[in-house]
Chain A
């Protein structure tokens, strides 16, 4: 790896000024777990690395009954997993953070770095989109807030403009009526990264489904919302047949990725099978008996 200037701005305005000044010669660093791999493979050779680690404005987790959950971009996966507030009010998120990567990576890697790198083979984007997350970006032209679904644009591509930083991730106040499940599928148990990730949340109206969110990532270049399956589920009872029909719609709708970790047909199949199982489970059916 080539040497570089290592810069540690103490405040957010100073970090933004530095990035505006350095332009394309600089890379932003949070935990560094993704960036350092890119630099060591010489895919990136920045003259300067701007480390965010001193920026207090990007740290901390807060829960507020009206504002919901706010997570600073520099919060590590392990902090999300261990937060009693997240565990209590957003169990699906805490559970996801507890199982991604491996313990040493979770202790160093930040949630903001994960979202900004937009590597498809990750967990948080899929889960956060299904939880209706939003992100705040701060840049030379001010602050904007957008839906996580609009932030995750494509394969390794986000809505971040040059010189912009992700500062916070927001989740709406916990909805006790909404149930959810998150699944990560690995090719072998020794792998860390998912080959597919599925996030499902829905409201129960008696025993009828309403307002389902079904998002599939890792199998796709960027998380994909399964619009047809969501629409199909509206107002239906969660029977094994409904689960199978919704899963068939997923297989038709998904636009999977083919790479060294799995081809498109394999990913389409595991997305279908696991969607069916998750829907059956939420409907109280044991798919193992079918």
Chain B
């Protein structure tokens, strides 16, 4: 009774699987689906490296069981863009020094995407509040804030 069938949509693809009850969503995405863009960091809900979108809201996948994602629509960083065709947000991170080592970047991209889906013109305070659940030890955050502001501008005017 400890294996559970689940069915969920990940980056647009319907997935069915059997999971152990104690498996975390972050672990499921990485080990079963090989979506290793989602990082494991603190695993206590503090650092935000494991952030993914669940039914349209950004969450920490280390604070969620895979069985709790049964029926959910999940988006991971792999759903944002590709190496050859990065999204506007990903391009902005590259152009504005929004990353150095890159470990925290998938989490920052997911919270930034969540912010821009609700607020097309965030001011700096709103951007910083949206980032409050994510830690970066390289950039000092300014590059990330600039990248998100630039992406918001491009998304407003560009398309």
Contacts and interface: CB of A to CB of B under 8 A. Distances in A.
Given A2-B22, A4-B2, A40-B43, A108 B64 contact: yes
B contact face: mostly helix, strand, loop, or mixed: mixed
Contacts of A2: 22
B73 interface: no
B117 interface: no
A6 B4 CA distance: 8
B145 to A, nearest CB: 14
A104 B63 CA distance: 10
Which size class do A's interface residues fall under? 20 to 34
Interface in A126-171: none
Interface stretch (B44-52, B78-86, B89-97, B98-106): B44-52
A33 interface: yes
B1 A5 contact: yes
B150 to A, nearest CB: 21
Nearest to B118: A82
A102 to B, nearest CB: 3
Interface string B119-145: 000000000011011110000000000
B57 interface: yes
B60 interface: yes
Contact of B22 (A4, A105, A108): A4
B114 interface: yes
Which size class do B's interface residues fall under? 20 to 34
A49 B1 CA distance: 12
A283 interface: no
A101 B133 contact: yes
A2 B60 CA distance: 20
Nearest to B128: A189
A2 B46 CA distance: 22
Contacts of B2: 3-5
Contacts of A31: 63
Contacts of A190: 135
B111 interface: yes
B65 interface: yes
A190 B68 CA distance: 29
A6 B21 CA distance: 6
For the complex of A and B, list the 5 residue pairs with the smallest distance between their C-beta atoms, beginning with the closest.
A102-B133, A107-B57, A3-B2, A1-B22, A6-B21
Given A3-B2, A32-B63, A32-B68, 4 more contacts: A3-B22, A104-B51, A104-B58, A108-B57
Interface of A: 1-6, 31-33, 36-37, 39-40, 49, 51, 53, 78, 101-105, 107-108, 190, 192
